[in-house]
Structure 1
């Protein structure tokens, strides 16, 4: 849905500074925080004071947070000509015009000196409210951002402080080893080779160009159907759905059958490192897992089982040794970027509890991103705790084929219950 009406800003946005003095120091960012991949804001108080600081260069060229209490940016908007029902009717796929809902939320040329936290509350004509936030990915991953938002919500509801999880600010627990030791191939950072006889100029055009967002909601019953296929009985919901989406994505694009394609997906490392990350750690606590296959193997009739096995194997690779090797790789290659040449990237927002976020006005009726990016998001479904909405952008010519691929193999009237599981 395009927001045709201009969002009215009846006052200039203000910097909200801490109400009490905060520690004045620079905060070290781990290599997982500092990597080039994360130098943007995720667009969606128990003293998260670094969010009132500013990112800046450290002595060794890495980013650090200057905890200077300059404040977070807060703005208010008004859309009197739009109702919540009208917005929800078209909320499945974001539109570029939604950026009007976050003043100051446009992507800056540099993160240096920019408020790492931007908030806008937009009042609708029906009395409803849209809350948009942008938080620097260098400071928080999705779990960390959700931790902050829930802490903020508890304060807004005047809950007792003993219900809060204290934020753990120190990132030194993920310092690189000395000397760094890269012990794995790390295919997530290795560029794909062009298949024999392939045209290196033509192949990437399958994956890039003007993008169209495609969205489909899978109920818990849909996900269970994929888990109950004979070969997938022991799959988690994430593994089964990631395999299904990856395969549909490849088939919609129709690359050469011998082209190696990848699935990159985030894996929470909080309980995978030894010792585990401290409770309340809100920095970037994930690494990318990488499954890879030829396009032909994925498109084959047995491709669903093949893909699910690859997703599981990639996830099981992530242990303490792999995480430490990733941190060391990023120490040696500060400009390292994941290979996106023929890759689908999945980020799951389904275990963060954002659909339960209540800042005093009740639970939200919609949770999603402000814009549709080139990676795939697994979003929570309000009122269906086991459902997942898959949102992914593909070149416009492939959008209809992707919709068909999403629906392939689903029985939409199969509504039996399903047990939840972890990614």
Structure 2
């Protein structure tokens, strides 16, 4: 059984018309929390939305109690975003967190479906999955609570837990840290959180005045990219966003990755991420049939907690990453060999030195600077965060992934196989089959499709 993008789940029956607010069960600091330049990027004005499927449910009251307890330590998630008075004339809607203990949104629902039935359609998110996460009626992103949870009980006694965690407050490392802390306190109500979160963001303050911004980084831009896609007067990103998108999903096993690495000629020592990101970037560009001269970029996050002096405290709870950027034109990307593309990715990683990270922090003082998404593929790696090992007391999940799919590419963990990765990205419907085809073949320098991956990738 394979799920389609428009396949409908049964409607959720909410236990209450309105969700409850879960507040910290003890008093927490009441103050305004500064957001660093890494946090306060318009690129991050969204919530990271996770979906977990469990074979057995945990009592709702227990989940609420442990959430109330964990919010003592993770109290900014119980606060609210608010606009800060601009520090400079060019500042625009700089945000901070009002740590007021107002509470996280918690919704309860029931769906007439079994865990195994949902598992059968779990490889590709569908539009109807959005009903599994309560939609807060808020006029703007700023007015949306930083943490929204929905627990949906299933016919079989299982449950689905969906969470929306504000990206302004933390990155993927932070979301995993919080979820594991919540699960830990659900299993062990009298214990402390495994890692004490450190909330001060001043460690990522720019190290020099903002009046002079000489640093340039290819992941950012101050002006819209004027390059066009064929005869469309749009950037590639705008072109993709202007039409209906459907998800492409495929799984790479350890054997697939090994075969992919063997395509790097001459031989090159590289990580799984480097080779799979390179292959995905090439396949994406090839499937979109882009102009050969168009410059395209690959953006991917890199943890910089170990690139700042003094050392970042353990448990640093905020955004601690910057985007690395590999770039080239379409012709070199799709006609060159995989070795060349992997080198581009490796060079992008190695270019993020202490000095360049400091330059990025300073560059982001200018709120006219934004992430350059015009002709970029953005890859976010969820597969190395431990997200799949969440246990609230009734065992590990049967499935872990996003609530929805978009044009950002996700590298997802595979439950039960730590060496496998699922690639998920949304593309125009007419492009998906081409993308999956190229992801399962390798384009040699003479444009002849060569040997397929030793063990064919699983498409769903």
Q: TM-score, normalised by structure 1?
A: 0.92
Structure 2 residue 399 is matched with structure 1 residue 393: no
Deviation at 1:271, TM superposition (A): 1.3
**How many angstroms apart in 2 are the aligned matches of 1:56 and 1:136?**
13
Asked if the contact 1:182/1:326 (under 8 Å) is kept, the reply is no
Relative distance call for 1:109 and 1:219 in structure 2 (3 A) is farther
Aligned to 1:62: 94
Deviation at 1:296, TM superposition (A): 0.8
Superposition pairs for residues 357-372 of structure 1, below 5 Å? 357-372=390-405
Aligned to 2:285: 250
SS in 2 for 1:325: helix
Partner of residue 7 from structure 1, selected from 2, 9, 12: 12
Structure 2 residue 296 is matched with structure 1 residue 270: no
For residues 38-79 of structure 1, the C-alpha deviation after alignment (integer angstroms, 9 at most, x for no partner) is 111111126101111100012335211111000001011100
Structure 2 residue 438 is matched with structure 1 residue 405: yes
Deviation at 1:230, TM superposition (A): 4.0
Relative distance call for 1:194 and 1:397 in structure 2 (3 A) is same
**How many angstroms apart in 2 are the aligned matches of 1:202 and 1:13?**
41
Deviation at 1:212, TM superposition (A): 1.4
Superposition pairs for residues 108-257 of structure 1, below 5 Å? 108-158=138-188, 161=191, 164-180=194-210, 182-190=213-221, 191-194=224-227, 199=231, 201=233, 204=236, 207-208=240-241, 209-228=243-262, 229-257=264-292
**How many angstroms apart in 2 are the aligned matches of 1:139 and 1:50?**
8
Asked if the contact 1:27/1:65 (under 8 Å) is kept, the reply is yes
Aligned to 1:79: 111
Aligned to 2:75: 49
For residues 13-41 of structure 1, the C-alpha deviation after alignment (integer angstroms, 9 at most, x for no partner) is 10011110001111101011111011111
Deviation at 1:414, TM superposition (A): 8.3
CA RMSD of aligned residues (A): 2.1
Superposition pairs for residues 287-306 of structure 1, below 5 Å? 287-300=322-335, 302-306=336-340
Aligned to 1:39: 45
SS in 2 for 1:393: strand
**How many angstroms apart in 2 are the aligned matches of 1:252 and 1:76?**
41
Aligned to 1:18: 24
Partner of residue 342 from structure 2, selected from 305, 308, 315: 308
Deviation at 1:322, TM superposition (A): 1.5
**How many angstroms apart in 1 are the aligned matches of 2:280 and 2:299?**
12
Count of residues in Structure 1 that have an aligned counterpart in Structure 2 = 410
Asked if the contact 1:192/1:260 (under 8 Å) is kept, the reply is no
**How many angstroms apart in 1 are the aligned matches of 2:161 and 2:439?**
30
Q: TM-score, normalised by structure 2?
A: 0.84
Structure 2 residue 378 is matched with structure 1 residue 345: yes
For residues 334-362 of structure 1, the C-alpha deviation after alignment (integer angstroms, 9 at most, x for no partner) is 14322222110000001110110111111
SS in 2 for 1:32: coil
